[in-house]
Amino acid sequence: MLKFVDLAWRNIWRNRRRTLITVAAVAFAILIVAITRSLQYGTYDMMESLAVRLYNGEIQVQREGFHEEQSLTYFLKEQEKDWQALIQKYPQLTAYTKRITGFGLVSSDSASTGALIVGIEPEKEREITEFADMVQRGRQLQLKDYGVVLLGQTLARNLQADVGDTVVVLTQGYRNQLGADSYMVKGTVSVGSAELDRAMMIMPLRNAQELFSLYDGITQVVFSSNNFRKADDYASKLTKDLGDERYEILSWEELMPELKQIILVDNISGAIYLAFILIVVGIEIFNTTMMSVLERTREFGILQAIGMKSQKIGGLILFESLLKLLIALGVGLIVSLIVVSILSQLNIPLPEEMREAYANYGFVLDSMKFSNGVRVYFEPIMAVALIALLALIFPLYKTSKLTPMEAFRRA
C-alpha cells in the first residue's frame, strides 16, 4: 500500500504543472460558487426577515376561513384563549399581539378611497412587527391613544390629508352593521411596500372594535418566536395545543407564498448559471485526467507486461485523481472561508437599479448581505466533487480496456 501511495505522489509531482492547473480551476470554481450562493442566501435571509418583521409576523392564529375570505364573520373572541399561557408553555414563542383587520371607505375634504384598516395594540405590536413604527411624518401610536390613525404615505397623498387633519371612515361592520366615525391623522407611515403604503390605515384596537361593532372580538393573534426559520414547527405545536378545527394557525411561509415563489425562481436561475461553471470545471478535470492517461500509455503497457493488472492501474489513476481532488477541495474551502467570512462582515451598498428592482417587489433593501452559513461551503464542495467523479468515469473505463499490445502500438 505504501508503494502504491508513493507511486501516486511521484506521478502527481512529476505532473505538478498540470496538477496545479487542476487545483487552481477547482478552487476557483468553489470560490465563485461559494461567493454567489453566499450573496443569494444572504439576500434571501434579508428579504424573509424583513417580510416577517414588516407586517405579517411569524405565526398567526385565525378563525378557519378568515385567511381566504377576509370576512369579520370569522372572528375570534378576545379572551377566547389564554394567549399569554401559550407564551409561558412554549418558551420558543416570545411575544403576541391581537389585531382586527378589515376594509372600509376613507374620506377627506378632497377625496375618498378604499383602505385596509388595521386595529393594533401599539405597545405589543412593536415587539413583533415594525409597520406601525415606520412613521415619516407625525408621531407613532401610543397605548393611551384614542380617535387617531396613521395613514400610509401614498394613501395620505391620495386623500390630500396631512398630520392633524380629520378623515371619515365608512365601513360595514360585524353582522352588516354600518360603521362610521371620524379620526384625526396622527402621522403617516411608509413601509416600503407600494400596496400597503397605498391602502393601509392603522388605528388603536379599541377604535377598530367600535368601528366594526366587534367589541370583544379580534381577527388575528400574531406571535413572534426566537427563530423565524422554525415557524412551521412552532405553528404545528400550536395546532396540536389548541386542538380545535375552528382555528387556522399559519406560519409566515403560508401567509406569504409569493415570497417563497420569488426566492424559488431566483434560486433556480442562479443554480442554472452555476451549473455552467461546474460543467467547465468537469471538462477541465476530464481533459487533465485523459491527457495523463494518454501520455502514460507506454508506462501502463510496461506495467501490464510485468504483471500488473489493468484494475490496479485504474486504481492508481483513481487514487491520484482523488488526491488531486482532495487537495483542490481543501484549497478551495480554505480560500472560500477566508473570502466569504470577510464579505459577510461588510455592508456593501446596492446600486440604485437593484434597489428599485427590489422595491417593485415590496422590499426596501439598501445593501448586500453575504451569508456565512454552512450550506454556502457544503453545496460547492459536494457539487464539484460529484462533477469531478463523473469526469473520471471515461478515463478509468479506457484504462481498464487497455492491453500491452495496444499500449505499445499507441506509444
pLDDT digit string, tens, across residues 98-107: 999 999 999 9
Rounded to whole angstroms, the Cα distance separating 54 from 119 reads 16
Q: Report how far residue 77's alpha carbon sits from residue 63's, in angstroms, rounded to the nearest whole number.
A: 10
Tens of pLDDT, residue by residue over 154-175, are 999 999 999 999 999 999 888 7
Q: What are phi and psi of 169, to 5 degrees?
A: -115, 130
Report the length, in residues, of the chain.
Answer: 411
Q: What is the grid cell recorded at 385? A: 466533487
DSSP strands (E only) in 219-312: 220-225, 247-251
Whether 256 contacts 51, CB under 8 Å: yes
Cα 201 from chain centroid (whole Å): 29
The pLDDT tens digits of the residues spanning 289-310 come to 777 666 666 666 666 666 666 6
Which residues is 106 bridged to in the sheet?
A: 113, 169
Q: Which of 32-41, 96-105, 366-375 has the lowest mean pLDDT?
A: 366-375
Query: Can you give the pTM of this predicted structure?
Result: 0.74
| Rounded (10°) angle between helices 16-51 and 2-14 | 90
CA distance 95 to 86: 10
Q: Which three cell numbers stand for residue 42?
A: 444572504
pLDDT score at 6? 62
Partnered with residue 137 across adjacent β-strands are 188
Query: Per residue in 213-265, pLDDT tens?
Result: 998 899 999 999 988 888 889 988 888 888 766 889 999 888 888 777 878 88
- Closest by CA position to 52, among listed 252, 191, 257, 259: 252
Contacts (Cβ under 8 Å, ≥6 apart) of 123: 142, 143
pLDDT in tens, 117-128: 999 999 999 999
Burial class (CB in 10 A: 0-12, 13-18, 19+), 339: middle
Cα–Cα nearest to 365, from 48, 36, 37: 48
Which residue(s) pair with 101 in the sheet? Answer: 118
